[in-house]
Structure 1
Amino acid sequence: MSVGFVIRLVVLALLVAFLVMPEAFAFVFQPLARPNQPVIYNQGNLLDLTLNHLAIVAAAMVVATLVAVGLAILVTRPFGAEFLPLSRSLANIGQTFPPVAVLALAVPILGFGTAPTLVALFLYGLLPIFENTLTGLTTLPPAVTEAARGMGMTGRQRLMRVELPLALPVILAGIRLSTVIALATATIGSTVAARTLGEVIIAGLLSNNTAFVAQGGLIVGVLAVLIYDGLSAVEQMLMRRTGQAGRRG
């Protein structure tokens, strides 16, 4: 067991302990609060907000992954190659419009709450996943794909048994990037009444309570690092299983 792994476990344990018993950590944030100000966020449950924040991000990333991977598969097939420029333009929509602008456009249609935030995160997460999937599917070793054809595999069999498994580490790298971006971006969802950790940060800014701001930012930051490291570990494991670690490392 590596030192880095142990450190991550300790950080995760501390995060869980803080979310379950935040008052036990009041001494850490006390210097950041002004006299007579509450030290620990008291306008909601930190654990509930964190779980809701993660659920929104997870839902958006699942849909973004399905759409982005589907588009990449389509344009790498002979019958769909002509749709590559259109698919790339669609994937770029989220990067063209900042999330705040997407929220502003979505609220009149979807109303306040979680829905506009999901739309913003979905659009913002498309491009990294699409481009990585495209790269993974178009840079496969020719010898491998030719061997699959020589074995008599159909196009669907080659996709499911050869192409996607080999491209999976690269696809996962795109998902990792989109997820980390979404974790931070989801905080702005609280401006349209979505229940995210942005509530904590906004409450701190409105009341000039730096302790609240630090708590919201710290939870989001720790989650981003832990999820990034976790997905990186899975990516490395997949690369070893498919024999790509040496070639790409």
Structure 2
Amino acid sequence: MSRQAEAVWDPAQYGVYGDERFRPFRELVERLGDVAPRRIIDLGCGSGEPAATLAGRWPAAVVEALDSSPEMIDAARAHEIPGRLTFRVQDLRTWDGHDADLIVSNAVLQWIPEHLELLPRWTDALAPGGRLAFQVPGNFAAPSHAILRELCTSDRWTARLGHLVRDAPVLSAEGYLDLLAGHGCDVDAWETTYMQTLTGDDPVLEWVKGTALRPVLTALDATAADAFIAEYRERLRDAYPPRPHGTVYPFRRIFVIARRT
């Protein structure tokens, strides 16, 4: 997951609820079926676990994993396999590759406003028959995100945080299908909503601390960040009340696999 937004990323915080975060990636890879790529590019590799999974699934392939966050790449290098799996810092907006059999992008594109222009370019970097596979969150209308936007534009916070608010930064599954089919690809696109049950104190807050809340925490000093989190926490508790079995957090994802014909 590339961190193209202006934020400092925390691999440890992102790893909270790691099994739940990793599930959409596993299902995306399973949907690829019996392909046998020789060269795989992971655009937005985060802390490296997805790229390591790709290297394990296709042991004959060379995997190049890229991310814009130095913090994430530092963590990812623990997974390196000399000659087979490498990591490097790269702004995905300027990546210019070619002859890839598989390009994977896991929970990245929502951070890159220009990604609608990048996707056709990435499919051009595929070898004939190669595939571009990505998944992004589709839950920008969820209370967790709506409350965050409301707070950022409130009288108390708008001067410091209002510039971070943006419209839903991704298309629907149908929108991505139209975009990439129009570029000559065969496209498989679908959506899934996971009814996740999270445990622990304020679990939805802990979840968003690893993702959507990162730009806010980067923009504020420690005292202001604590004040913002206190206000956000109370509203999240109302929106996501704990149940006897845990706190239910619906998690909608959008998946796309485009094959270059």
TM-score normalised by the chain length of structure 1: 0.23
Greater fraction helix: 1
Greater fraction strand: 2
- Which has the higher Rg, Structure 1 or Structure 2? 1
